[in-house]
Amino acid sequence: MAKVVIKDSPYNLKKAKILDVKTLTEKEKLFKLVFEDKTWLDFEPGQFIMVSLMGIGEIPVSICSSPLNRHYFEICVRAVGKVTNSLHKLKTGDIIGVRGPYGNGFPIKMIEGHDLLIIAGGLGIAPLRSLILYSIDNRRDFGEIHILFGCKTPGELLFEDEIEEWGKRLDIHFACTVDRADPDWKGNVGLITSLIPGVDIDPLRTYAAVVGPPVMYKFVIKELLAKGLPVDQILLSFERHMKCGMGKCGRCQIQNLYCCKDGPVFTFKEIMDMAEAL
Amino acid sequence: MKIEQYRILEKSLINEFIDKLTSISKVSAPVYKGFNNYAFHEIKSADEVSLKYIPTIIPPKKYFLPIKETLLDFKKGNEFKVEPTVEYDNIVLFGVHTCDISGIKCLNMVLSDKPKDTGYLVRKKHITIIGLECNDYCDEYASCAFVGAHIPTTGYDLMFTELTDCFIIHIHSSKGMDIIEKTGIFKPADSNNIEELKALRNNKLRIFNNEIPTERRYLPDLFDRSFNASVWKELEQKCLSCGNCTAVCPTCYCFDIKEDVDLSLQSGERYRLWFSCQLDPFAKVAGGIDFRRERSARQRHRFYRKFRYHIDRYGMVFCTGCGRCSRTCMAKINLKEVLTSLIRESEAKIWRKWL
Amino acid sequence: MSKPKVAFFDFACCEGCQLQVANIGESLLDILDIIQVVEFREVMSEKWDGEFDVSFVEGSITDEHAVERIKKIRERSKILVALGSCATIGGVNGMKNCFPLEEVGKYVYGESYKFFPTLQTKAVHQVVPVDYFINGCPVYQPEFITVLKCILQGIPYYVPEYPVCVECKLNENVCMYDRGLTCMGPVTKAGCNSWCINNGNICYGCRGLTINPNTEGFKEVLKKYNIPEDFLMKKIEMYNKCRELDKQ
């Protein structure tokens, strides 16, 4: 058996250095990364990367910074499993492996010129933050921008500083809700779906981008359809356990679609008749 | 059929050929394992080989897509280093049936699709395939005629077909020609041999009947109508989720990626390992949600991957008719029977519509 | 950084799993480079009275003394590992639970059984929390090493949830059912690389039942092979009797 090194292997990794780690909540940390070879990560909002901790494992993580940021890229990671827990133990200066980006991302060219309704549930804000930052950076290319953000408790609210800033902006309509309030919470209480009826949108010229936990989609879609949004203007990003990111390993397959390659962003139209999707 | 592409080998010389082959290269061939089971194993001499065999436990895809395959060697910590590697072997596979060759053609399609699987492509370059045509069915599980995998077409370097007194060999590549020259025991074919081969192929059209009461071209329609068929619910009761059907399938290629460190805990390898959509953790995501929790959904997924999804994606049916999945299934889930029930149910529905 | 302090303890068992560890061979030296074994009755006489970083516990818990002792070990251990079938699933000791305790006592000790109070057999996790499980009777050496590495890296080890068949098929073994034998592979947790079947034996089910076995389907399979159901149930009970205590 001969063994050779193949540099062009699609499984090759780039070294990424952790520039900064920011604790967002009890469970989530924000990692600021930069490639050691000074190249930048060329990606679209909604795409993901495969993050490697050698000897521990590799996981798909969506990129949450703006694609226009040429200095670093960011990922927001919730500690839930083997790799994420180990990642949370890392510090500034540590090296991790990265390959990607993978996936299609949000169809920016299609969205441009339209209004944008962003609906994020919990950690779903991560890929959407990339889209939000992009649309803020290119504010003129978009019509009205609405952001709805929901999470379980005020303690789980991610990107609090930024949220506050978005809330203050006059060119963005921002609303936030929690499922269960605490005594200090002054905002909305209730599921994210409760915010949708109140949003003032022109359904025919609006694209909705929805990311959240699997249970959220059905209910949000129902509300959006009630609002009159066309099925091909509802964009959903799915979570699956991608292992290769290249449409091979089969782990993320939803009927004939590979979530990693054909997705993770799908229009509702593409998947509405598909069992196993939602 | 160009006569110059054909050679003849006397039947009595087949063992001599295999022995010569083992002297010039590493050779793997079907070997009897007892209880009507066969496996591709590396052989040292001709007497280990079973020329008459039913499909091996695991198809020869294991040489192209090893069960366990190193993807990267790494060092962690301060000396962080990653080296993607591929392991390959110069090996001749002797006696590969046409069903398994068509399985490898399916894998070629998938793994050369972008982004290319470099490891697979490197290994493929170093493997030589010598086919062995089946003149008759191996057993009742085969459905190779349905998917058109019973007649050699492409995907091999040499193809052996047994005629009355000799083997006729089709040379299909320069790698194949090399073997012909190096072993030096083949004779040119004459027109009688070619005629006999033609007659044999014609006769095969009579022996091999379409095993399933529909045609390949109707598969997309059939499966489009069958997502909620009652067969799947029956499979829910039967299937043990042991993953045998996918492990033995020549066109299954799903895998898991894992890591192993050595005892220094500083270096190790990342490898991939065959995995199966029939097993519990396959479609689970963080938080424990499983998008195909029921056995019926998993079995349905398997069938759709063979007969529907990949027709759209790669333009091919991903079943080779080898019958392994049915042969190996402890619960006796039979591919031919499942397809037949789908057809019956679908027909019944259509009739009801018309009446 | 000092090497983690590791200890081995045994309860009701044959100590065969510890023997597997002691017999690991070449890699034992590399293992001893990264851990410090402070207590291991089978191979050394030293004892340790401090805290253990990792304790491997072989054997099941079968009387009050054992309950007290395992609780103390748990208190002194940062990480507790159940080693082998007896510790992870109760193992063959669990067969005791098929009979009334009194009957069992009399059978072993005759009339003086009252001087030897006993309890229903329990797996270690049925008495104290367990951090890692290494199944098998005995443990499979490569899996022991894998788990050890996980412990030292501070990451969890997941025992495969799928059946032995998965690994067995990849080892290209002739199916035991083809040979006319009843094998527990289809309902037993994998992770042993189908060790027994590779060596010509059937699977006895020593690693415990799979998470989500299709028991009804398996009964149908047995019918097809003319295997009586209670024959199988007895085979399952040989290692899995203590499972009943998990459900309570």
In the sheet that holds B91-96, the strands lie side by side as B37-43, B26-34, B91-96, B127-132, B158-162, B166-171, B6-10, B187-188
- Within chain C, strands assigned E span 5-10, 36-40, 52-58, 77-83, 132-134
Task: Indicate whether C172 and C72 sit together in one domain.
Answer: no
Q: Positive or negative, the Cα torsion across B169, B17, B104, C174?
A: positive
Facing residue for C169 by CB, picked from B238, B247, B280: B247
Same domain (yes/no): C14, C117: yes
> Touching check for B34 and chain C: CB below 8 Å?
yes
Q: How far apart are the first and last CA of chain B?
A: 51
Number of Cβ within 10 Å of residue B168's Cβ equals 20
Within a 10 A sphere around the Cβ of C138, how many other Cβ atoms?
24
Same domain, C143 and C189: no
Tokens of B125: 């370059």
Whether this model's ipTM surpasses 0.95 comes out as: no
Domain identity same for C130 and C171? no
Overall number of domains in chain C:
2
Cis peptide before B250 (omega within 30 of 0): no
CA distance A273 to B3: 54
What whole-number distance in Å separates Cα of residue A10 and Cα of residue B118?
7
Give me the residue from B75, B283, B313 closest to A251, CB to CB: B283
Looking at residue C142, which CATH number applies to its domain? 3.40.50.700
C130 and C197, same domain (yes or no): no
Nearest-CA distance B109 → chain C (Å): 23
Please indicate, yes or no, whether residues C173 and C144 belong to a single structural domain of this protein. Answer: no
Q: Quote the CA–CA distance of B341 and B344 in Å, as a whole number.
A: 5
- Based on the domain organization, do C119 and C177 belong to the same domain? no
- B197 has pLDDT over 70: yes
The pLDDT value recorded for residue A241 is 86
Distance from the A201 Cα atom to the nearest Cα atom in chain C, whole angstroms: 48
Other beta carbons within 10 angstroms of residue B154's beta carbon come to: 10
Its sign, for the CA torsion A202, A277, A80, A60, is: negative
pLDDT below 50 — which residues of chain C? Answer: none
At residue B62, the pLDDT reads: 95
Provide the pLDDT for residue C248.
58
Candidate from B84, B254, B283 with C-beta closest to A9: B84
Residue C118 and residue C207 in one domain: no
C83 lies in the same domain as C177: no
Interface chains of chain A (3 or more CB pairs under 8 Å) = B, C
Mean pLDDT of B294-304: 91
The pLDDT tens digits of the residues spanning C234-244 come to 888 899 999 88
Q: CB pairs below 8 Å between A and B: how many?
A: 141
Q: For chain B, which residues make up each domain, given as ranges?
A: 3-65+88-207, 216-256+281-354
Q: Who among C30, C170, C187 is closest to B67 (CB)?
A: C170
All residues of chain A having their beta carbon less than 8 Å from the beta carbon of residue B232 are: none
C156 has a chain A CB within 8 A of its CB: yes
Collect all residues of chain B within an 8 Å Cβ-Cβ radius of residue C162.
Answer: 241-243, 276, 279-281
Q: Is residue C217 part of a domain?
A: yes
C190 within a domain of the structure (yes/no) = yes
Q: Tell me, yes or no, whether C245 lies in a domain.
A: no
Q: What is the pLDDT of residue C1?
A: 62
Specify whether the CB–CB gap between C55 and C29 falls below 8 A. Answer: no
* CA distances in angstroms from B14 to B7, B38, C120, listed in the order given: 13, 20, 66
User: Domains (ranges, CATH) in chain A?
Assistant: 14-102 (2.40.30.10), 108-237 (3.40.50.80)
Q: Does A272 touch chain B (CB under 8 A)?
A: no
Q: Does residue C135 sit in the same domain as residue C209?
A: no
Which of C133, C153, C173 corresponds to the end of one domain? C153
Residues 6+ apart with CB under 8 A from C218: B240, C186, C187, C232
Q: Please name the CATH architecture into which domain B3-65+88-207 falls.
A: 3-Layer(aba) Sandwich (3.40)
Q: Please compute the mean of the pLDDT values over residues A248-264 and round it to a whole number.
A: 91
Query: pLDDT tens digits, residue range A129-168?
Result: 999 999 999 999 999 999 999 999 988 889 988 988 998 8
ω before A214 within 30° of 0 (cis)? no
Contact A56 C153 (CB under 8 A): yes
Distance, first Cα to last Cα, chain A: 45
Residue range of the domain that includes C24: 5-153
User: Is the pLDDT score of B181 beyond 80?
Assistant: yes
Same domain, C217 and C122: no
C11, C108: one domain: yes
Q: CA of B81, closest CA in chain A: separation in Å?
A: 8
C199 in a structural domain: yes
